[in-house]
Amino acid sequence: MILLTGATGSIGRHLVRRLTDRGAEFRAPVRDEAKGRALGCPYAVGDFDDPASLTAAFAGVDRLFLNGPGAVPVDGEQPMVRQYTAAIEAAAAAGVERVVKVSVWHAEPGSRLAQGAHGVLDRRLTAAVPGWTLLLPSGFLQNLLLPGAFTPDGRLVGRYGGAPVSHLDCRDIAECAEVLLTGAPRPGESFVLTGPQALTDRQLADRVAHALGRPVDLLPLTPDEVAAALTAQGLPASFAADLATLLREVATGTLAEVTTAVPDLLGRPARTVDTFLADHLPALRAATRLP
């Protein structure tokens, strides 16, 4: 039995479909019955903010897919550290044999935001459950479809200072997780997942333009300009400053490497940017305000 956390996210919803199609036995933890019914898959009510409620969710579980929301601080605290820790402790108590966790590339305790939070959690996982496997993805192509990826006049917002990023499709992350959850175990291994090539913001805008059949301009922002915009939207100044620091790191090329982990795990090449854009054209048109 697989327990699949983050079932409604960019990775989780694809993994739900994959596991359903193959007839795998799994369930997803949810906070309330309505969310469970909306998922359309087996579920169990449990709240990672209430560790005592997780007993039923972990009953009979021998494999865990651990993924969830990002590391946005609330009142100066990282809720994901507390929530993931509760899941890790519940997995250890339930005797879960295999945990596949989605971390981030360059996770390290003491780093900023998600890198620091996952750095702490990865160490807690590896100490608690011997059968751990980590997925360390590069940037998500699905972020192109989120609010703020494009300006109201359809320009791509550039944040990486001309450095290439090996963006990948979350569908590939889900399929890698499926292989690791249902196939032969790969305990103690970490996989850096990337797309098949690294593109600059300008190159990415050109690919979007080709998909849409019209010019797409680029609005490059410095890390400080990104931080100022987030602060103006009401986000904490400390969060904005930490994000600016991470953007400066990416601008040095920290996400530029292309690895073979996706094709090694899946036996096929990682999906290209062009394939992603073609498969999500209606959503892309909406994101760029194109009628």
Domain boundaries, the chain: 2-137, 138-169+195-256+271-291
Predicted local confidence at residue 55, as pLDDT: 85
The answer to whether the beta carbons of residues 129 and 185 sit under 8 Å apart is no
Residue carrying the six token digits 């903010």: 49
Predicted local confidence at residue 67, as pLDDT: 93
**Phi, psi angles (nearest 5°) of residue 167:** -50, 145
Predicted local confidence at residue 78, as pLDDT: 72
**What's the pTM value of the predicted model, to 2 decimals?**
0.94
Predicted local confidence at residue 71, as pLDDT: 58
Same fold, 2-137 and 138-169+195-256+271-291: no
CATH number of this structure's domain 2-137: 3.40.50.720
Predicted local confidence at residue 289, as pLDDT: 81
Regions of the chain where pLDDT drops below 50 = none
User: E strands within 104-178?
Assistant: 132-137, 156-158
Calculate the alpha carbon distances from 207 to 126, 202, 246, 291 in Å.
Answer: 39, 9, 25, 19
Exposure of 290 by Cβ count < 10 A (0-12 exposed, 13-18 middle, 19+ buried)?
Answer: middle
Predicted local confidence at residue 79, as pLDDT: 82
Helix (H) / strand (E) element for 110: namely none
The answer to whether the beta carbons of residues 127 and 160 sit under 8 Å apart is no
Predicted local confidence at residue 74, as pLDDT: 59
Closest CA to 66 of 55, 76, 81: 81
Predicted local confidence at residue 72, as pLDDT: 62
Query: The tokens of 190 are what?
Result: 């970490």
Say how far apart CA 28 and CA 23 lie, in whole Å: 15
Exposure of 234 by Cβ count < 10 A (0-12 exposed, 13-18 middle, 19+ buried)?
Answer: exposed
Structure letter (DSSP) for residue 160: S
Instruction: Classify domain 138-169+195-256+271-291 at the CATH topology level.
Output: UDP-galactose 4-epimerase; domain 1 (3.90.25)
